[in-house]
Structure 1
Amino acid sequence: MYTSAQQAAPVRMTVYPILIAISMGHLLNDAMQAVVPALFPILESSMNLSYMQIGWIAFTLNMTSSVLQPVVGLFTDRRPSPYFLPLGMAASLLGMVGLALAPSFLFVLLSVLLVGLGSAVFHPEGARVVYFAAGERRGFAQSIYQVGGNTGNALAPLFTALVFVPFGQKGAGWFTMVALLGIMILSRVSRWYSHKLEQREKDRAQKTAVKLEGQERRRVLFALILLIFLVFTRSWYSAGISNYYQFYLTQYYHISIREAQLYLFIFMIAGAIGTFVGGPLADRFGKKNLMLFSTVGTAPFALLLPHLPLGWALPALFLAGFILSLSFSTFVVYAQELLPGNVGMASGLIVGLAFGMGALGAVVLGKIADTYTLKSLMWMCSFLPLLGVLTYWLPKDKGRSAALGH
C-alpha cells in the first residue's frame, strides 16, 4: 500500500533554492498569461469587441492549457521531460510577439493559443519539480510555487495601467524580455531536475504501489470528481471578478479604466498572499478543513460586493480574494495524495483542467453580461462560493489510506 511505501521512503530535505527558482519561473509564466486579460480594455476599444468576444479570448487561453495540461501530465508521468520547462516559456515568447502585432481578433486568438500551449507544457513539470524539492513540507512547498503564479496573475491590472494604457497593444512586445529571463531560469532548474531523475526511480515504484481495486477506486474517483467540481465553481467566481468587474466599476461607479485596475490588483494580490499563507495552515489544520473554510468563508464577502458603495469595495475584494485563495495550493496537494503515482496528471487535472474548464465561465458570463446587464452578472457570480459546502463530503486527508476510509 501507499502508506508503507511512504514509511519506507527516506526523509527528504526541502530544497529551497529550487523552490524559489521554480516559483519565479511560475511568476514569469503566469505574468505572460496575465498579459491577455490586461489587454482586454485595450482590445475592446481598438477592435470594438463584445463582452462575449472577450470571453472567447479568455476561453481560448484557459481551454488550451486546461485540456492539454492533464495530457502533458500523463505523458510526463511516464516519461519525465525536464526541458519542457524552458520550451513552454519559448512558446509563450512567440505568443507575446503575436499579441503585439495582431491585426485582428482571429490573430489575437492564435497568439493566445501559443501562450496557453506554453502554460500547458510548463505546469505539470513545474509541479513535479516542486514534488521532488518539497521534502516533508508539501503544503508549504506548493504554496511557494503557487504564490509565484498568483503574483504573476495579480500583475494584470498593473500591466493595463502602466503598459497598455500608455503604449497600447504593442506594449506586449516588452514581455518577450520576460520570456527570455524565464528561459534562462528554467534551464537551470531543468538541469537540477534532470540530475534528480537520474538519482531516483521512485515514480515507477509508486505506480506499482498504488493500484486500486473495487471500492477503493470508486472512492478515489468520487473524491477527484468532487474536487474538480469545487475548483470549477471557484474558477467561475474568479473569472467573473478578473474579467468583468473592471467593466462593472467603470459602468456603475463611473471611474476610469486606470482607476479600476487598482480594485482588480487588490483582489489578485490578496489571492497571492492567501496562497502563501494557506499551505502552512493546511499542513497544520488539515487540507479538507482549510478547503471548507476557504470556499464557504468567501461567500459573505462575495454576496455583499455587488451592493456595497465604492469605498467598501476594496476591503471586501481583499478579504474575498485572500480567503478564497487560502486553499489554492491545498487543492493540488490533495489531488496528488489521491493519485501519488501520477503527480503530473493530478496537478494537470486541478491546475489545468479544473481551473481551465472554469474559464468556460468567461464565455458564459460574457453572454450573460451582453444579454442582461453587468449588474445581473455580478449578482449571479456572488452565489457561487456557497457551493463550497460540498467540500464537507470530501474524504479525510490523512494520506491516501485515510482518504479511502482505511
Structure 2
Amino acid sequence: MNRTPEQVTAPRRDGRQATRIPMLAAGHAGVDVYQGAVPALVPFLVAERGYGYVAASGIVLAATLLSSVVQPVFGALADRWRMPWLIPVSMATAGLGVALSGVAGSYVLTWLAVALSGLGVAAYHPESARLARIASEGSHVRMSWFSLGGTLGFACAPILVTRLLSAGGLGASPWLVVPGLLGAALTVTVLGSLAGRDGGGAARHAGGRDDWPAFTRLTLVIVCRSVAYVGLSAFVALYLGGGAAGAVALFVLFGGGAVGTVVGGRLAGRWGRVRTMWLAYAAAVPAMAGVVLAPGWTAYAFVAAASITLYVPFSLHVTLGQDFLPNRVGTASGVTLGLAVSVGGLTSPLVGALAEATSLGLALGVLAAFPALSCLLARTLTDPAPVAGQVGR
C-alpha cells in the first residue's frame, strides 16, 4: 500500500507509548486520594473525638503546611537530578500517613500522621509532572488527562473514606494505604521507559528565558484559587449536614473537578490558556456565592458549578508555569501542580476561626472573593510562545 510522505516520516506510537499517560494518570489518582481523604476524615474526627472547627481545620493544615513548604524544594531537586524512584516511595508515604491518622492516640499524633501524608504528596508532584510533560509531548489535552487522574482520586476519596469509616470507624483507617500502594505499582510499570527518554525530553522543553514576573503572578492566581477551593472542600460537608449528605457534597465537589479538568484542556485549544483561565474564575464567583445562598438541595448544583469553574484552569496552570520557566520545569511543576492544592490549607484555620466567631455560612461566603482576585490577576498575563515540540492540543 502506498503511503504519503507524512505517513512515512511520522513517528509511530507503540502500545507502551499509548499507555504512558493513562498509567501515570492512574498513579496520580492513587496519590491524590489522600488529598481528598483528609476533608472526608474531618466529620469522623468531629463526631468520634469532638474536635471543634479550629481543631478540625488544623488537621487540614497538617496535610498542607509541610507540603507547601517543601514542595518547591522537591521541584528544585527534580530540576537538578532525575529521581523517578521518588514517585512510588512518595505514594506509599502519602498512603501510610492517612492510614495511621485514624488510629493515632492523640491530636498531636493524628496531626503528625496527616503531615507525613502531606510530605508524600509534596514529594510526588514535581517529579511526576515533569515526567508527564515528557510523556504528553507538550499536549495540553494529554496533560489535562494526567491532571484528571488526580482529580478523580479526589472525587473517589469521600465515597471510599465514608463507606470504610462508617462501617469500621476510625480504626479501619489502615485500609486506606491500599490506593497508594496500587498506584505505585501501576506507575512503576512506565517509569523505566520514561526515564530512558528523560534526557531528550528535558532538552526539548528547556531553552528560552525564564519569565519570573509572569510566573509570580501566575503563582498568586493559584494561591487565591487554592484558598477558595481548599476552604470549600474542608467545610462544605459540614455546612450541608455531614454524614451521607456531606459525602454527597464532597463527591459532587470533586467529581465536578474531573469535568472541569477535561473541559479546560479543550477550551484552551480554542480560546487560549490565559483567556480560558480568567473567564473560568469570573464564573466561579457567583457559583461559590450560590453554595451559601441557594436553598436546600439546589446548593448541590452550585457546588458542582463552583468545582467545574475552579478546575477548568487546573491543568493550564501546569503548562503555563512550565512555559514561563522553560529552564526549571521541575520547580514550575512543584509550585503550580502541588501548590495549587496545598497552600489553601494554610488559611483553613482562619476560615474555621471565622466560622466559630460568626457562622459557617458567612465564612464560606467570604471565600467567593478569592476567585475574583484570581480573575483580576489572570488578566495581567499573556500566553507565552509555545516551546519547541509542543503540539498544544
Instruction: Output the TM-score relative to the length of structure 2.
Output: 0.90
Q: Displacement of 1:204 after TM fit?
A: 5.7
Which 4+ runs in 1 deviate beyond 6 A? 10-14
1:310 lines up with 2:296 in the alignment: yes
Q: Displacement of 1:354 after TM fit?
A: 4.6
1:6-405 correspondence to structure 2 within 5 Å: 15-137=17-139, 139-197=140-198, 200-201=199-200, 203=202, 209-211=207-209, 220-250=211-241, 257-387=243-373, 388-399=375-386
Q: Displacement of 1:94 after TM fit?
A: 2.5
Q: Displacement of 1:229 after TM fit?
A: 1.1
Gaps in structure 1 of 5+ consecutive residues: 1-9, 213-219, 251-255, 402-406
**How far, CA to CA, are the matches of 1:242 and 1:312 in structure 2?**
18
State the percentage of identical aligned residues.
28
**How far, CA to CA, are the matches of 2:43 and 2:128 in structure 1?**
31
**How far, CA to CA, are the matches of 2:106 and 2:91 in structure 1?**
24
> Residue by residue, what CA displacement relative to the aligned partner does 1:248-271 show, whole Å, maximum 9, x if unpaired?
222xxxxx5212221221121011
**How far, CA to CA, are the matches of 2:204 and 2:240 in structure 1?**
54
Q: Displacement of 1:90 after TM fit?
A: 2.1
**How far, CA to CA, are the matches of 1:13 and 1:325 in structure 2?**
33
Letter in 2 for 1:223: A
Q: Please name the residue that 2:5 is paired with.
A: none
Gaps in structure 2 of 5+ consecutive residues: 1-8, 389-393
Q: Displacement of 1:383 after TM fit?
A: 2.5
> For the structure 1 residues 189 and 260, does the alpha-carbon distance in structure 2 shift closer, same or farther, using more than 3 Å as the test?
same
Instruction: Output the TM-score relative to the length of structure 1.
Output: 0.87
**How far, CA to CA, are the matches of 2:330 and 2:99 in structure 1?**
29
Aligned residues: CA RMSD: 2.1
Letter in 2 for 1:84: L
**How far, CA to CA, are the matches of 1:12 and 1:54 in structure 2?**
52
> Residue by residue, what CA displacement relative to the aligned partner does 1:36-58 show, whole Å, maximum 9, x if unpaired?
22111111122221211111111
> Residue by residue, what CA displacement relative to the aligned partner does 1:37-92 show, whole Å, maximum 9, x if unpaired?
21111111222212111111111211222222211111111101111111112212
Letter in 2 for 1:185: L
Do the aligned residues in 2 keep the contact of 1:38 with 1:159 (CA within 8 Å)? no
Q: Displacement of 1:318 after TM fit?
A: 1.3
Letter in 1 for 2:189: R
Do the aligned residues in 2 keep the contact of 1:66 with 1:348 (CA within 8 Å)? no
> For the structure 1 residues 400 and 20, does the alpha-carbon distance in structure 2 shift closer, same or farther, using more than 3 Å as the test?
closer
Q: Secondary structure at the match of 2:149?
A: helix
**How far, CA to CA, are the matches of 1:398 and 1:53 in structure 2?**
46
> Residue by residue, what CA displacement relative to the aligned partner does 1:182-207 show, whole Å, maximum 9, x if unpaired?
2211221222222223xx35536865
**How far, CA to CA, are the matches of 1:322 and 1:342 in structure 2?**
29
**How far, CA to CA, are the matches of 1:11 and 1:373 in structure 2?**
60
Q: Secondary structure at the match of 2:240?
A: helix
**How far, CA to CA, are the matches of 1:349 and 1:19 in structure 2?**
21
* Pairs aligned (count): 376
**How far, CA to CA, are the matches of 1:171 and 1:263 in structure 2?**
23
Do the aligned residues in 1 keep the contact of 2:231 with 2:344 (CA within 8 Å)? no
